[in-house]
Structure 1
Amino acid sequence: MSDEVVMSLLTRALQSGDEYLAAAVHPAVLPTQRQSLEKLLFATSRGKRQLAAAPYAPASLLEALASDDDPKVRIRVARNPSTPARALGRLAGGDASTALLSAIAAHKNAEPAILAVMQGMESPDIRAALCGNPKTPLKTLRALLPAATLAERKILAGNPNADAAMLRDLWDSGDIYVRAEVAAHPAAGPGLMDEAKRSLDPLVRRMLAANPAVTQDTLVALLSDPEAAVRAAAVRHLAPDDHAPERLASDPSSTVRRAEARHFTLPASAAARLAGDRDHWVRRWLARNPGTPDFVLRRLASDPESEVRRGVGRNRSCAVDLLRELAQDPVPWVRAGVALREDAPVDILHRLGEQSDIDVISAVGRNARTPPSILERIVRHENADVRRAVILNKRAPRSALEAVLEDPYPLNRALLARHPSLSFADLETMLRDPEPQVRFTAADALVKRPRPN
């Protein structure tokens, strides 16, 4: 950003009284200049409360609002996912209510040191938040365990900071649902995983099969589990050498066959069998699998289900000649899938860009490979969603975007303000937009973009 741009925005915000411009420029100015902006932004209780909850509120403003006298403002700051750690520390150090502390205890940006001092609090909401926060240190989690309810133990068992010793305590003192969470935890260790494998409850065995640290030997053993959900979970994590494709491709459960159709090392014989599966979801997953052999994809390209054919068109392994066939499919949704591919030949994009179906031309408009001449035509479409497709195309040149600088739909203008192809002059023009969110987005983009030489 340039000092000239910042000072221009600061002056414009103060002279016009525009709160949205003031919010956008607040992080970029000096502390003394922020005070002037805060007089404008914090003039009313209603305005402060709205700003404290706004998802677009910059961290600098949330820090300032963390010291506000209004408890409704502070609680909204604590619940705002963008609130930085320093502001949360300030909130926790003041006269904090249980609701405020609960929000801090659950916040993803809360520092471990802040969370550690809350461990002795009696509030169920605070305890539950601490149990589930991945920032809560292990020492604090252990301190919460002795008095934890079953519901809290289940949350503790899913915390990534839990270690093997703590998970053992949870397994020994928990119900089926706690044990299921323990079985899924990467830190469970061989002993607990072996007990989970022998569990009589299918939920525990299914969660074990989904554990990223489970051994391949265990997964192979779970392939013979009587419960289809367990077998399907095991299939998803099987390594190539431990695969049993012929048996799995003929499994009586469609859930297992669907998982098999997604496996990244599916042999040709199993793929051929699954291509004729009666369950269309099996064929859909197979059509999207980049490991599916070419001869199977060609068979699926003629499938009676349009979603299967679309899957083939979206598959990165689909051959160009097959793409050309699918680009002429009678169902527009299939053709739209082809139009989204950035490796689609330009002549296909030209042909699809001339069609009338909204899904098809929107897909062409989103495609980064679409030539500017086509984008310039699509962006003038009467449908706002079609025009937005071009706006969301990060490779769209300014020549294609000029037509939507004054788009009648405010959301399109707000999204347009983020586009890298707009000039500084374009963004400065958008500062006068009647829609507040457009003005904020344009100002924010000006602040964050380097000024060209």
Structure 2
Amino acid sequence: MEFTGRHWSELLRRALEDVEPYAAAALYPHAPAVHREWLSPRLFGARRDRLLLASAGFVAPAVLARLAGIAGADGMVGLRLARNPAAPAASLVALWRGADSGRLRLLLARHAQMPRAILAEIAEGAGQVEILRALCENAGAAPDVLAALERRQLPALQRLLAINLATGADTLLALWTAAGEAAVRAQVLLHPHCPAPLLRAMPGSVLERRCLAQQARVPVALLRQLAGDGDASVRQAAAAHAAMPAQALLTLCFDPDGGVRRALAGRADLSARMAGWLLEDQDAWVRRTVARNAACPPGLLALAAGDAQAEVRRAAARHPACPAALLARLAADPASWVQAGVAYRDDLAPPLLRRLARSTDVDVLAGVARNPATSPARLARLAAHESPDVRRAVILNRMAPRDVLLPLRQDGYALHRAMVLEHPNLTDLDRWRMRGDPDAQVRFRIFGHFARQAGMRAAARSGARTRATQQALLTTMETI
């Protein structure tokens, strides 16, 4: 389908008549100036629509910027824009300049898109603790602004400053010196910019030691000590640390706390020796974690495949290198949940996939429906299944052919219709025929798809004209 001016005109007409403003919002960023003026009354004329758009994080910044410019004295529109993570920086600045409520100022001070210069201005002039706390929570604040906030010596700000990833090492050191709470010091130890001198001594509280055990730069000598800590939560954090020495890991395999052993079971560098021990662990979650871990040698999976717990057997079926013989065994498991774990694999032999396709269990059939090797005829039957989970799995199958997908454009679930229009095997003509979908969000996606195409074509034409003009100018100059 070649998108033409006639198609664009129909989109404009439909957007202006639509009961919701979202279709017009999809067209607005890609529309020429004259068409933007046509769309503006539909978008911004009614307060209900302004409120809907101000809360919508999926609409383009151009819509939100225009909305901020005309919001005027409507405080509720301003509040919704200030909560919207997609609100553009210029709109936030305009709202801040005209803000007359404490709640609006609080939201703007916390907004991640607020420019650093404005955050510095807010920090300099703010006296309310609530505003200062919002600034401390803002990851977009510059380190020097956070340092200035620390110099106010307000206990209510200390932990928030220690959490903020933008806080610099000097500020963290000042917080460590001034803090009277273990919670603040623990956050300083956990921070990626934690000053090196603070990582050389064992802290006193459990909370601090647990955070130290999660610090990527903790010295190995301290890490060994943390592996033997008297608190299980500290040992669990240490067991997951990438730099933990191998000998300490072997000892932790027999830790009395199941959480510690679970942390070990999920390590990417799990050795075959440790995997063998942990597959015989009394904790089913430990065995399950090992069986799913790609580091577990395939030769050990037979033990997991015979486990009394179905979750462990399913984990073995999901192991990326599970042997074919074990997969055939697990495909006949008495628990459908285990069979489903096999069905979701992309490397199944065709006979095994056909056997699983004869199941009546929804989870198994969903795995079959998502499998790229499932035949088109089978997918067509699954696309008509009564379970939405099975139909959704067909849509997620990147190999599903067009004729299987076409009926799903009328699926009873709006989510499915929104998903199917993104499928690469549909044509633009198929998507165009969905332009009258009853759901506003689906229409927004469809209108947005074609509006982007119109915008790219307009940009290409403009670029071609510019290049032609430049070439003509060069020719003239050469003639002269």
Please tell me the TM-score bracket, short chain as reference: over 0.9
8 Å CA contact retained: 1:427, 1:446: no
Q: Equivalent residues in 2 for 1:397-408 (5 A)? A: 397-408=401-412
- Match for 2:84: what amino acid? N
Residues 186, 17 of structure 1: alpha-carbon distance in 2 compared, 3 angstrom cutoff: closer
Residues 3, 126 of structure 1: alpha-carbon distance in 2 compared, 3 angstrom cutoff: farther
8 Å CA contact retained: 1:245, 1:266: no
- TM-score, normalising length: structure 2: 0.88
Indicate the larger mover: 346-355 or 330-339. 346-355
- Aligned partner of 2:172 in structure 1 is 167
Q: Equivalent residues in 2 for 1:339-350 (5 A)? A: 339-350=343-354
8 Å CA contact retained: 2:357, 2:365: yes
Find 1:178's aligned residue among 162, 165, 184.
Answer: 184
Indicate the larger mover: 31-40 or 61-70. 31-40
Structure 1 position 2, deviation (Å): 5.7
CA separation in 1, counterparts of 2:311 and 2:115? 46
Q: Equivalent residues in 2 for 1:230-241 (5 A)? A: 230-239=234-243
Indicate the larger mover: 363-372 or 185-194. 363-372
Structure 1 position 309, deviation (Å): 0.9
> 1:375 aligned to 2:386?
no
CA separation in 2, counterparts of 1:382 and 1:132? 47
- Aligned partner of 2:195 in structure 1 is 189
Aligned residue for 1:251, secondary structure, equals: coil
> 1:130 aligned to 2:132?
no
Aligned residue for 2:347, secondary structure, equals: coil
8 Å CA contact retained: 2:116, 2:141: yes
Question: Could you report, residue by residue, the CA deviation over 1:165-192 in whole angstroms, capped at 9, with x for unpaired residues?
Answer: 1111111122110011001011112211
Structure 1 position 294, deviation (Å): 2.1
Question: Could you report, residue by residue, the CA deviation over 1:62-99 in whole angstroms, capped at 9, with x for unpaired residues?
Answer: 11111211121111011111212232222223335322
Aligned residue for 1:119, secondary structure, equals: helix
8 Å CA contact retained: 1:132, 1:155: yes
- Aligned partner of 1:52 in structure 2 is 54
Structure 1 position 235, deviation (Å): 1.4
Structure 1 position 404, deviation (Å): 1.1
Structure 1 position 432, deviation (Å): 1.0
- TM-score, normalising length: structure 1: 0.93
Indicate the larger mover: 311-320 or 17-26. 17-26
8 Å CA contact retained: 2:187, 2:211: yes
8 Å CA contact retained: 1:220, 1:242: no
Structure 1 position 142, deviation (Å): 1.0
- Aligned partner of 2:231 in structure 1 is 227
- Aligned partner of 1:19 in structure 2 is 21
Structure 1 position 449, deviation (Å): 5.3
- Aligned partner of 2:462 in structure 1 is none
- Aligned partner of 1:305 in structure 2 is 309
- Aligned partner of 1:244 in structure 2 is 248
Residues 224, 449 of structure 1: alpha-carbon distance in 2 compared, 3 angstrom cutoff: farther
Aligned residue for 2:321, secondary structure, equals: coil
> 1:98 aligned to 2:102?
yes
Aligned residue for 1:430, secondary structure, equals: coil
Question: Could you report, residue by residue, the CA deviation over 1:207-255 in whole angstroms, capped at 9, with x for unpaired residues?
Answer: 1111223233332231121111111111111337545333111111111
- For the aligned residue pairs, the C-alpha RMSD in angstroms reads 2.2
Structure 1 position 354, deviation (Å): 2.6
- Structure 2 unmatched runs, 5+: 458-480
Question: Bigger radius of gyration, 1 or 2?
Answer: 2
Residues 33, 124 of structure 1: alpha-carbon distance in 2 compared, 3 angstrom cutoff: farther
8 Å CA contact retained: 2:365, 2:390: yes
- Match for 2:44: what amino acid? F
Indicate the larger mover: 24-33 or 215-224. 215-224
Aligned residue for 2:99, secondary structure, equals: coil
CA separation in 2, counterparts of 1:387 and 1:448? 28
Residues 90, 394 of structure 1: alpha-carbon distance in 2 compared, 3 angstrom cutoff: farther
- Structure 1 unmatched runs, 5+: none
Indicate the larger mover: 388-397 or 205-214. 388-397
CA separation in 1, counterparts of 2:113 and 2:3? 30
CA separation in 2, counterparts of 1:114 and 1:346? 61
Residues 373, 186 of structure 1: alpha-carbon distance in 2 compared, 3 angstrom cutoff: same
Structure 1 position 6, deviation (Å): 4.0
